[in-house]
Chain A
């Protein structure tokens, strides 16, 4: 049943859970910091150890904020694509958007030696990587869209996405042949995904990109609801389909492109989170799904980050490994349990 009371309770719980997770995320890490000290550092008070304060303000807080931005952005871009392509398996990673972004970044990082020095100077700046990544993901999305108009079969679209993935790794493979060990290491670290290492100024750029993407998604809620009946019905209800599709594509490209640029290609979040939201809220109404996907995305990304920190241990696992380990079974479970595809 889809009653507003149940939704209000779920939203309140989700919101509270998110706040708790945010603080838990900041308090856990390879160095144990008492919760009370975390609280004093965050509220601007003097922590008893200046290193703790430094870790929290300059390392853990930015990382937690990045996790929230990444989780929200990727999940929403997955939600938009699942409705636009009428395909429950669509997502930024599966459709090859992340691969496209990787290709863009690979060209910038690995191909820098081939490019003229002025150009590589511009491209290696933080903005250059964002630009290359967004361009890469937009190109792939446009190609996927082109294919999807020729092929009505939605499974074919997924295969096309997979092909883009293979193509990208092949091109990256070729590029690695011509690049230095240092460049290679930089690219490999980027491709494993990393929520840390973002300076406050990078977070500002990422926030602006994500907020812009989310704003465009907000504008797409009504068209997305119309598209639940298919393209032709949506048009018969007065939807300017081309304009709506353009906004949706722009939103997903900005979200997936900017996030991939800063945090690397992060798998499965975009695919799995919208399904979790649909399953919990039992609705297709995008007004509800938008906010629930947003909250679930942030919460799940924070959990994945906590897991990757391996609290109390020295090592940190790559975030991409965690999202894949948690996400892949979710997708298989969704496939087996076909009902949730409705």
Chain B
């Protein structure tokens, strides 16, 4: 019996401007469970970011609720939210002299005192996060001296140090080559199984997500479905993903073909 970490019930996402309300997706009933690696896929502009922004409490839902550990996400204080939900974003880091260790250590901010002193327990958790993400050899390097793939791992290490049951990553595999994409996703898979955390990530690497994730959330203009990859293949959900006759999903091989 796995526990639910985040659930949405009859959630509608979108945004309201002065003139109109734009609904991107309606009636979402998603369920993020502990120990699961969940991939969020969908074509560009389908609303993946809006969905992530809504379930992380940055943006208000149009209707319905987002429950994080049985409590409405809008009812969380910023600090309490940071102790339950950590993020890895796509944005570039501003220039600074931060070392890898210091960057990971910033993940402890929700727990430290007013001036940010690290206790022995904080340091122990930081070392664990560094070990889990295998970045120990980099820890004294400046964050701008390491490669994109290494930086992604460091940012994941920071999220781990934040010690939250749920980690959300926005397109962590972009800008990486095949080797680093695979090693990053395998790392995420290992983390969910070893730490019992729930990890949700958005991606365009659908082939890899099918092979490595426990569950997938597919966003299409008509509907949003959550299920295990093999069930989604047998249901034929991937065929509706792209509206283009030249892209066909081969359900035997589990990948997209260009015809």
The reply to whether chain A is a binding partner of chain B is yes
- Assess whether A236 is in contact with B86, with CB atoms less than 8 Å apart: yes
Specify which chain A residues have a CB less than 8 angstroms from the CB of B98 in the assembled complex: 228-229, 284-285
C-alpha gap A121/B114 in the complex (Å): 43
B223 contacts partner chain A, Cβ-Cβ < 8 Å? no
CB-CB contacts below 8 Å: A222-262 with B? 222, 225-226, 228-230, 232-233, 235-240
Counting from the closest, the 7 A-B pairs by CB-CB distance are: A238-B82, A284-B97, A238-B79, A284-B96, A86-B94, A222-B116, A238-B110
- Centre residue among B58, B109, B112, B144 by max chain A CB count within 10 A: B109
- Assess whether B95 is in contact with A221, with CB atoms less than 8 Å apart: no
Specify which chain B residues have a CB less than 8 angstroms from the CB of A236 in the assembled complex: 56, 82, 85-87, 89
Query: Closest approach, in angstroms, between the C-beta of A56 and any C-beta of chain B?
Result: 38
B102 contacts partner chain A, Cβ-Cβ < 8 Å? yes
Using A232-B91, A342-B97 as known contacts, list a sample of 10 further A-B pairs with CB atoms less than 8 Å apart, ordered by residue number in A: A86-B94, A225-B106, A229-B93, A229-B98, A230-B89, A236-B89, A238-B78, A238-B79, A238-B109, A285-B98
Q: Which residue on B lies nearest to A338, using beta carbons?
A: B95
- Centre residue among A86, A232, A284, A341 by max chain B CB count within 10 A: A284
With contact pairs A228-B98, A238-B83 given, residues A342 and B144 touching in the complex (Cβ less than 8 Å)? yes
- Assess whether A228 is in contact with B106, with CB atoms less than 8 Å apart: yes
CB-CB contacts below 8 Å: B94-119 with A? 94-99, 102-103, 106-107, 109-110, 112, 114-116
- Assess whether A237 is in contact with B116, with CB atoms less than 8 Å apart: no
Sample of 14 A–B contacts (CB below 8 Å): A86-B95, A222-B115, A222-B116, A228-B93, A228-B98, A229-B93, A233-B89, A235-B78, A237-B82, A237-B86, A237-B110, A283-B102, A284-B96, A342-B95
C-alpha gap A182/B78 in the complex (Å): 56
Selected from A88, A230, A237, A282, the residue in CB contact (under 8 A) with B107 is A237
Interface size on B, residues (CB 8 A): 34
**Secondary structure of the B contact surface, majority rule:** loop
Chain A residues within CB distance 8 Å of chain B: 1-2, 86, 88, 218-219, 221-222, 225-226, 228-230, 232-233, 235-240, 278, 282-285, 287, 341-342
B43 contacts partner chain A, Cβ-Cβ < 8 Å? no
Selected from A86, A233, A239, A278, the residue in CB contact (under 8 A) with B87 is A233
C-alpha gap A283/B43 in the complex (Å): 41
B182 contacts partner chain A, Cβ-Cβ < 8 Å? no
C-alpha gap A279/B162 in the complex (Å): 30
Query: Closest approach, in angstroms, between the C-beta of A54 and any C-beta of chain B?
Result: 44
B24 contacts partner chain A, Cβ-Cβ < 8 Å? no
B81 contacts partner chain A, Cβ-Cβ < 8 Å? yes
Number of A-B contacts defined by CB within 8 Å: 85
C-alpha gap A342/B93 in the complex (Å): 10
C-alpha gap A282/B58 in the complex (Å): 35
**Secondary structure of the A contact surface, majority rule:** loop
B140 contacts partner chain A, Cβ-Cβ < 8 Å? yes
Query: Closest approach, in angstroms, between the C-beta of A2 and any C-beta of chain B?
Result: 6
Specify which chain A residues have a CB less than 8 angstroms from the CB of B96 in the assembled complex: 228, 284, 342
- Assess whether A229 is in contact with B106, with CB atoms less than 8 Å apart: yes
Selected from B91, B93, B112, B162, the residue in CB contact (under 8 A) with A222 is B112
Selected from A86, A221, A226, the residue in CB contact (under 8 A) with B115 is A221
- Centre residue among A235, A240, A278, A282 by max chain B CB count within 10 A: A235
Specify which chain A residues have a CB less than 8 angstroms from the CB of B81 in the assembled complex: 238
With contact pairs A221-B116, A236-B87, A237-B109 given, residues A341 and B95 touching in the complex (Cβ less than 8 Å)? yes
B204 contacts partner chain A, Cβ-Cβ < 8 Å? no
C-alpha gap A218/B96 in the complex (Å): 20
Q: Which residue on B lies nearest to A238, using beta carbons?
A: B82
- Assess whether B109 is in contact with A287, with CB atoms less than 8 Å apart: no
B181 contacts partner chain A, Cβ-Cβ < 8 Å? no
Specify which chain A residues have a CB less than 8 angstroms from the CB of B255 in the assembled complex: none
Specify which chain A residues have a CB less than 8 angstroms from the CB of B97 in the assembled complex: 278, 282-284, 342
- Assess whether B110 is in contact with A222, with CB atoms less than 8 Å apart: no
- Assess whether B109 is in contact with A222, with CB atoms less than 8 Å apart: yes
C-alpha gap A342/B98 in the complex (Å): 9
C-alpha gap A232/B98 in the complex (Å): 17
Specify which chain A residues have a CB less than 8 angstroms from the CB of B109 in the assembled complex: 222, 225-226, 237-239
Specify which chain B residues have a CB less than 8 angstroms from the CB of A222 in the assembled complex: 109, 112, 114-116
Specify which chain B residues have a CB less than 8 angstroms from the CB of A225 in the assembled complex: 106, 109, 116
